[in-house]
């Protein structure tokens, strides 16, 4: 395997709806035909291409130098995004490409970095007088990545419709009932001053139990079981 330490990002300069309905592989094969038949190259110039829906296809084998950035093909990987037709160097990523492409490009870069000592990630427009890939790669790299589609909101609330379903709330109620039963039994066995002392203790315990029950109800409302 050749030494790889750089990634160069490109665009195909095709319209957003170019070959709509065709698969990512069919689009890649068409780009390959352009490069081989129209330009006389031995293969497609890019190593990877990313379709509008985030599908990643392989182009030229990674073991071979690409034909995507003159003077910078050695030691680099060429990645091209479908789209970018009519774009400018100063455009934002979202002006010409999709969130699916954003996520897929970041994932592909992470995978390449895990396998190769990548030290530089640049756009074609940094090494050639071109608009490609129609955004500033350094700005894009430092912005927040879009939320991944597989992330789903918690649905625990659908299983919690009543406070009585909470284990902690149930525990507080049981503890309160048990304490009340114990207090009644203790009072029946005592009289006079002893009953007063027991009653004061019961009131203090009841206050504490009510406080705990209130806190557990608040916790239930916040989403805890």
User: Known catalytic residues?
Assistant: 10, 46, 124, 130, 132
User: Please, are residues 142 and 136 in contact by the beta-carbon 8 Å criterion?
Assistant: no
CA distance to 43, 108, 119, 146, per residue, from 67 (Å): 9, 19, 20, 30
**What is d(CA 139, CA 9) in angstroms, rounded to the nearest whole number?**
13
> What is the C-alpha separation between 37 and 44, in angstroms, rounded?
10
What's the rounded Cα separation, in Å, for the pair 126 and 128? 6
CB 74 within 8 A of CB 63: no
Q: Rounded to whole angstroms, how far apart are CA atoms 181 and 200? A: 16
Do strands 6-11 and 120-123 pair parallel, antiparallel, or not at all (unpaired)?
parallel
Q: How far apart are CA 53 and CA 125, in angstroms?
A: 24
């Amino acid at each position: 395997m050749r030494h790889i330490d750089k990634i160069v990002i490109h665009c195909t300069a095709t319209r957003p709806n170019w070959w709509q309905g065709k698969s990512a592989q069919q689009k890649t094969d068409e780009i390959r035909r352009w490069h081989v038949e129209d330009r006389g190259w031995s293969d497609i110039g890019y190593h990877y291409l990313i379709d509008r829906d985030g599908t990643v296809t392989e182009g030229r084998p990674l073991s071979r130098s690409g034909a995507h950035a003159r003077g910078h093909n050695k030691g680099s990987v060429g990645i091209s995004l479908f789209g970018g037709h009519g774009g400018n160097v100063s455009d934002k990523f979202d002006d010409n490409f999709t969130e699916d492409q954003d996520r897929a490009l970041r994932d592909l870069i992470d995978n390449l970095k895990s396998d190769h000592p990548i030290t530089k990630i640049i756009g074609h427009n940094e090494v050639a007088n071109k608009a490609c890939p129609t955004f500033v790669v350094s700005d894009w790299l430092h912005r927040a990545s879009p939320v991944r589609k597989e992330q789903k909101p918690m649905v625990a609330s659908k299983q919690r419709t009543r406070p009585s379903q909470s284990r902690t709330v149930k525990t507080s109620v049981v503890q309160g009932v048990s304490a009340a039963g114990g207090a009644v039994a203790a009072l029946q066995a005592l009289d006079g001053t002893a009953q007063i002392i027991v009653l004061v203790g019961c009131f203090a315990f009841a206050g504490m139990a009510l406080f705990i029950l209130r806190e557990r109800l608040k916790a239930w409302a916040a989403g805890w079981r």
